[in-house]
Structure 1
């Protein structure tokens, strides 16, 4: 399990086409990608299971705890991105609730775009 950051501070200011915003790049893939949004309510959990393909969980709102194969939980919050390799056992839970975008694909390489926060 690796934890990355896609917070505003990691982004790049975009001014092309009279734009004015910060872009935090996340991922690029040439293979099929599945993108979903997960809404975990208070005391919600994504149970302990193996990743079918490499998976990137982007915490958009709220906070929670994640773990990989070790029985050690790490706090995550808005702006964190958690990456699990194919077949890696993992779990996500929250006391207060969280909303996350999940990106799943055979070809994910978060190292190309995001700053590593925890390895």
Structure 2
């Protein structure tokens, strides 16, 4: 077993006009699969850009908004996620700050299990 921290805010990111964004590479798997921890400061944004592969953003703490191809902002909070297809333009922002894990690569989302079937 290995215990490690993933919210290290290692790299300040300014690509695509992003503000208040720090990223930490966490892991990579076979093929194109990789995991990154993003920390977005209060008032920060991840500038609009096309997804280089399918992307899944999982908000761990805080809240903000996400937008896809049409630019419509949708609120998102801890415990929720957003998925974008490869080449889909998308952006994320927050007034209060958030931390999210981003998984990139060929991903299949599972449907929620019915309540009571968890064991």
TM range (shorter): 0.5 to 0.7
**1:99 maps to what in 2?**
99
**2:65 maps to what in 1?**
65
Q: Distance in 2 between matches of 1:48 and 1:86?
A: 14
**2:5 maps to what in 1?**
none
SS at match of 2:43: coil
Say whether residues 1:89 and 2:93 are aligned partners: no
Q: Distance in 2 between matches of 1:32 and 1:93?
A: 25
Q: Distance in 1 between matches of 2:100 and 2:111?
A: 17
- Aligned length, in residue pairs: 84
Q: Distance in 2 between matches of 1:114 and 1:38?
A: 25
Backbone CA RMSD of aligned residues? 1.5
Q: Any gaps of 5 or more consecutive residues in structure 1?
A: 1-28
Normalised by the length of structure 1, the TM-score is 0.66
Higher relative contact order (CA 8 A, sep 6+): 1
TM superposition outliers: structure 1 runs of 4+ over 4 Å? none
Q: Distance in 2 between matches of 1:53 and 1:66?
A: 17
* Aligned residues of 2:38 and 2:99 also touching (Cα < 8 A): yes
More helix by share: 1
